[in-house]
């Protein structure tokens, strides 16, 4: 697949050949769904907790006698049927996380990248950084490629200056080419990818497949 490479000024510089094994696959919606659900489940803290009738503080004494009052039989004030009583089948702390097979995760990332490339929401930009670390300098660059919309920038490395400049942009998130997240990548309206990151993606996935 051929893609244009743009300068930071938004001018076309050259074309780059993207690996079809990463950017030219048929989109597999099922694995994308599995990958996004997995990431959301792994982020859940699972700390919700309620008390059942055995844990509620209160007396175990019978509130009134069994017969003769006209009321229903009542064992104690901690019954789930009374206000302040225990909760029936309420949530308890639990771990929601689970693991997906590596091949499924890998295919999901490739499917999302292919989807972005095929729908022209992927823009390849020459490698750059923001030495000043100022937000306004990064905004001046991004306005050539995106409007006020949810944007994901894929970096070639952990560029601290670039991340510092983008920290105050609420619609912008950063991902490294070797640590992609399916949720952010899929829901990004625009994906701005540095040229070296686009080249490294093919080698990265080939190395992962060769390591198995």
123 lies in a domain? yes
Distance, CA of 39 to CA of 183 (rounded, Å): 7
Categorize the per-residue pLDDT at 1 as very low, low, confident or very high, splitting at 50, 70 and 90. Answer: confident
Tokens for 51, please give them: 């008390």
pLDDT at 210: 65
Categorize the per-residue pLDDT at 136 as very low, low, confident or very high, splitting at 50, 70 and 90. Answer: very high
Domain CATH code at residue 158: 3.40.1370.10
Distance, CA of 149 to CA of 168 (rounded, Å): 14
How many structural domains are present in the chain?
Answer: 1
Inform me whether the pLDDT recorded for 212 exceeds 90.
Answer: no
11 lies in a domain? yes
Instruction: Tell me what the mean pLDDT of segment 140-150 comes to.
Output: 90
110 lies in a domain? yes
The sign of the torsion formed by the CA atoms of 129, 134, 140, 144 equals positive
Inform me whether the pLDDT recorded for 168 exceeds 80.
Answer: yes
Task: Single out the residue of 159, 195, 164, 199 nearest to residue 175, CA to CA.
Answer: 159
164 lies in a domain? yes
114 lies in a domain? yes
51 lies in a domain? no
Residue 150: domain span: 2-31+101-211
46 lies in a domain? no
Inform me whether the pLDDT recorded for 26 exceeds 70.
Answer: yes
41 lies in a domain? no
């Amino acid at each position: 697949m051929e893609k244009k490479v743009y300068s930071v000024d938004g001018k076309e510089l050259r074309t780059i050949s993207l690996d079809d094994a990463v950017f030219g696959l048929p989109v597999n919606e099922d694995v994308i769904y599995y990958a996004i659900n997995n990431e959301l489940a792994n982020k859940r803290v699972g700390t919700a907790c309620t008390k059942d009738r055995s844990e509620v503080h209160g007396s175990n004494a019978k509130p009134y006698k069994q017969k003769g009052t006209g009321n229903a039989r009542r064992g104690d004030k901690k019954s789930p049927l009374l206000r302040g009583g225990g909760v029936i089948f309420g949530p308890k702390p639990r771990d929601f996380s689970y693991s997906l097979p590596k091949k499924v995760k890998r295919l999901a990332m490739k499917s999302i990248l292919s989807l972005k490339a095929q729908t022209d929401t992927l823009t390849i930009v020459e490698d750059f950084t923001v030495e000043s670390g100022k937000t306004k300098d990064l905004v001046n660059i991004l306005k050539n490629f995106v409007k006020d919309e949810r944007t994901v920038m894929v970096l070639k490395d952990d560029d601290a200056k670039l991340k510092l400049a983008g920290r105050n942009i609420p619609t912008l998130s950063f991902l490294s080419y070797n640590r992609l997240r399916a949720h952010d990548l899929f829901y990004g309206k625009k994906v701005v990818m540095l040229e070296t990151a686009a080249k490294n993606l093919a080698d990265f996935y080939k190395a992962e497949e060769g390591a198995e």
